[in-house]
Amino acid sequence: MEWGMANRMAQLIQSDGRCLFLPIDHGYFQGPTRKLEEPRKTLEPLLPHADAIFITRGVLRSSVEPGNAKPIILRVSGGTSIIGKDLAYEGITTSIEEAIRLNVAAMGLSIFVGSDYEHESLLNLSKLVDEGEKYGIPVMAVTAVGKELEKRDARYLALCCRIAAELGARVVKTYWCEDFDKVVKGCPVPIVMAGGPQVDTELEVFEFVYDGIEKGAIGVNLGRNVWQNDFPVAMIKALRAIIHENTTPKQAQELYDSVKRGEQE
Ligand code: 5RP
């Protein structure tokens, strides 16, 4: 691996082989998502606990201090909205020159396998990988499901992850699911897990993250279940403990509760 590519990968994946990416890119199709209305405010307390952030160029420039950032995974696909015809109809929204100018550690793009725009999104990934490899910038493929959350099963996600890896993604972001080991086994590059919409309890999040890591994921790219929680710092600290210290879900819950109590006093 070229030095630049290796250096960027090392910025993303920590020396223990694990990572906690914090995505705050949701506005690129959801607008001012709940609790991400003011990205700077949401991000500031969480930034010290993240290994990297997944973000668009607009929010990066407007809401993150260049002198106090973390490695950047630049969201470079989009062009659709939550009220538009089809979320899958994404294109590449940001040039490679812009990614270089912003000194990013990686670029991230969604693929929509099985959708009407499968072909376009997969060619977008291939083109982005070609550009990224030229300059030593890894690509993280996001296996997106749009509004069809029920698609998140092992057979479908294994298909998406494998295709993303075959087309050259250096990291793949997918969802946790039952039989997650089947997804990991079929994918020759590292996998990180997203959370999807906020779930009912913190423990549910700790349990699926723990299970996913045990089954071979290297970490998370988890947004709403962190920053939509009433105690986001407690949440990210507990997740960090699972990812980087092999803490059990029960211990993570105890850590969450104690940080939460501290904040309430
Ligand atoms: C949506 C994304 C997010 O980065 C990804 O879905 C992770 O966030 P969450 O845990 O909230 O699902 O690609 O734009």
> Whose Cα sits closest to atom 4 in ligand 1?
23
- Residue 38: phi, psi to the nearest 5? -120, 90
What band does 265 get if pLDDT is binned at 50, 70 and 90? confident
Query: What single-letter DSSP state applies at residue 228?
Result: T
CA of 223 to the centre of ligand 1 (A): 6
Q: So which residues are the catalytic ones? A: 173
pLDDT of 150 reads 73
Mean local confidence (pLDDT), 175-188: 97
Report which residue type is found at 139.
V
Res 76 pLDDT > 80: yes
Share of the chain above pLDDT 90, in %: 93
pLDDT at residue 152, as a whole number: 78
Report how far residue 110's alpha carbon sits from residue 105's, in angstroms, rounded to the nearest whole number.
17
Residue 90 sits at φ, ψ, to 5 deg, of -90, 150
Nearest residue (by CA) to ligand 1, atom 1, is 26
Return d(Cα 16, Cα 205) in angstroms, integer: 22
Note the pLDDT of residue 84.
Answer: 96
Return the pLDDT at 174. Answer: 97
* Residue 196 Cβ < 6 Å to ligand 1: yes
Identify the band that residue 176 occupies on the pLDDT scale cut at 50, 70 and 90: very high
Query: Residue 98: pLDDT band by 50, 70, 90 thresholds?
Result: very high
What are the extents of the domains in the chain?
Answer: 3-225
Residue 1: the pLDDT is: 85
d(CA 239, CA 95): 33
Q: How far is the CA of 23 from the centre of ligand 1 (A)?
A: 6
Closest atom, ligand 1, to C-alpha of 23: 4
Reply yes or no on whether the pLDDT at 146 is more than 90: no
Report the atom number in ligand 1 closest to the C-alpha of 144.
13
Residue with tokens 């812009």: 98
Give CB contacts under 8 A, 24+ apart, made by 76-84.
76/107, 76/108, 76/109, 76/128, 77/108, 77/109, 77/110, 77/121, 77/124, 77/142, 78/28, 78/29, 80/29, 81/29, 81/30, 81/31, 82/29, 82/30, 82/31
**Which ligand 1 atom is the nearest neighbour of the CA of 196?**
12
Name which of 263, 237, 231 is nearest 251 in CA terms.
237
At residue 32, the pLDDT reads: 97
**Ligand 1 centroid – CA 225 distance (Å):** 10
* Contact present, 53 and 23 (Cβ < 8 Å): yes
* pTM across the whole model: 0.96
Choosing from 20, 21, 25, 75 the residue with most ligand 1 atoms within 8 A of its CB, the one to mutate for a pocket test is 25
* Terminal alpha carbon distance of the chain: 50
| pLDDT for the residue 196 | 84
> Which CATH number applies to 3-225?
3.20.20.70
The enclosing H or E element of 5 equals helix 3-12
What is the pLDDT at residue 171?
A: 98
Q: Which of 138, 148, 197, 196 is nearest to 171 (CA)?
A: 138
Q: What is the rounded average pLDDT for all residues in the chain?
A: 96
Predicted pLDDT of residue 247: 98
Residue 241's pLDDT is 98
Tokens 């059990």 found at: 248
Ligand 1 centroid–CA 238 distance in Å is 19
**Nearest residue by C-alpha to atom 13 in ligand 1:** 142
